[in-house]
Amino acid sequence: MKDREPSPPAHSDAPPDPLVVRFLSHLRDPKNASENTIRNYGRALREFRETMRIADWVAVRPDACRAWLYRLTREGKHRPASIRLRFAALRSFFTWAQRERLVPENPAKGIPLPKLPRRLPLFLTTDQIARLLAAPREKWVALRKQAEAGGRKRPGRAWEEWQEARDTAWLELFYGAGLRIGELTTLDVVRYDRASGVVRVVGKGRKERLCPVGEVAAEAIDRYLRLRPFAEETHPRLFLSARGAALTPRAIQLALKEFLMIAGLDPKLTPHKLRHTFATHLLDYGADLRSVQELLGHAQATTTQIYTSVSTERMKKAYRKAHPRA
């Protein structure tokens, strides 16, 4: 289950706060924050202002921030990550406002927040991944057989073939390059460099990184591009729907759920689990932590280190199972 985003404030028709608008503009440029971050921070600040009845940001003191924390905690419907997200917005806003000399202090600074539970990320085994990657072809073969058996009219083999190629290609790239779902759906054709074997990905904070594309994924993308019925000039996004629109994150989520069921796997697994699987498999097969950090686009090595815990746990289980003196 995903952590809750800050919920819209009770009075969503309230006029925009000029100071918050300036802060969000600062996040967009020059900070280059993602649209998700800008949206979530804006919601959190509106929620704080309206819940705590803030009339003037200059007058906000630490006791108001502590009262909000107590209120969020007491409600019992917010996970620690959700509460920390709200206070990240508050601290970032007051840090900026203090630097701009708009407020005398950062009242959210130093307030202890609930700790995040340490959970090891879920991942798929290599056998499970192989079954999942074969699912798009199984799906389209089954659909063709059903149509033929029922005597139903089909849109045409070529039309179905390009969609099968598309689903295979995005799934191979998703796992093979360890992308985030937003990175996958906003990828343009021009960012795929077949000669170099890389894709140029725009990640969090609009930071660009190069992600290697394995030979299997590259062949799948090449086949898809040969069959794709839409021109790059008019449809620049790499992965398109049957109508030529860019595939949305929701479309990817629903398709992945279907492929998981075809592969006999838990359909509740989220797209992000493919990213976890990518990182875990790299470390299992000898990749160093720094390289995995760069491939994932993590700003801090500590974010990547959780995957080493997964690999270590697997190693310990194998040792306890196989070693006679374990």
Residue 144 lies in a domain: yes
Are residues 69 and 159 both part of a single domain? no
| Residue of 99, 268, 272, 290 marked catalytic | 272
* Ramachandran assignment for 210, one of left (phi > 0), alpha (psi -120 to 50 degrees), beta (any other): beta
pLDDT 10s digits, 90-118: 999 999 999 999 999 999 999 999 987 76
In the predicted model, what is the mean pLDDT of residues 50-65? 95
Does residue 25 sit in the same domain as residue 134? no
Domain identity same for 264 and 178 = yes
**Which residue segment(s) compose the domain that 60 sits in?**
18-99
pTM attached to this predicted model: 0.65
CATH of the domain at 144: 1.10.443.10
pLDDT for 161-220, tens place per residue? 899 999 999 999 999 998 999 999 999 999 999 999 999 998 877 788 889 899 999 999
What are 197-208's pLDDT values in tens digits? 999 998 877 788
237 touches 189 (CB < 8 A): yes
Q: List the catalytic residue out of 166, 273, 275, 276.
A: 275
Give the active site residue among 28, 79, 137, 298: 298
Query: Is 282 among the domain residues?
Result: yes
Same domain, yes or no, for 38 and 155? no
Pair 94, 142 in one domain:
no
Q: Is the pLDDT of residue 38 over 70?
A: yes
Higher per-residue pLDDT: 150 or 47: 47
Rounded distance between C-alpha atoms, residue 31 and residue 277, angstroms: 30
CATH code for the domain in which residue 85 is found:
1.10.150
What's the whole-number average pLDDT of the chain?
85
Q: Are residues 29 and 171 in the same domain?
A: no
Choose one of 58, 83, 99: the last residue of a domain. 99
Instruction: For residue 307, give the 3-state DSSP assignment.
Output: helix
Q: Is 79 a catalytic residue?
A: no
Mean of pLDDT values over 297-311: 67
Of 28, 31, 204, 209, the active-site residue reads 204
Are 205 and 312 members of one domain? yes
298 assigned to active site = yes
154 a catalytic residue: no
- Considering all CA atoms of the chain, what is the largest pairwise distance in Å, rounded to the nearest integer? 75
Query: Is residue 3 a part of any domain in this protein?
Result: no
Domain end among 40, 64, 99: 99
Whether residues 24 and 147 share a domain: the answer is: no
Asked if 138 and 256 sit in the same domain, the reply is yes
The catalytically annotated residue of 180, 228, 276, 281 is: 180
66 shares its domain with 153 = no
Taken as a whole, the chain contains a residue count of: 326
180 is known as an active-site residue:
yes
pLDDT band, residue 9 (cuts 50/70/90) = very low
> In total, how many domains does the chain have?
2
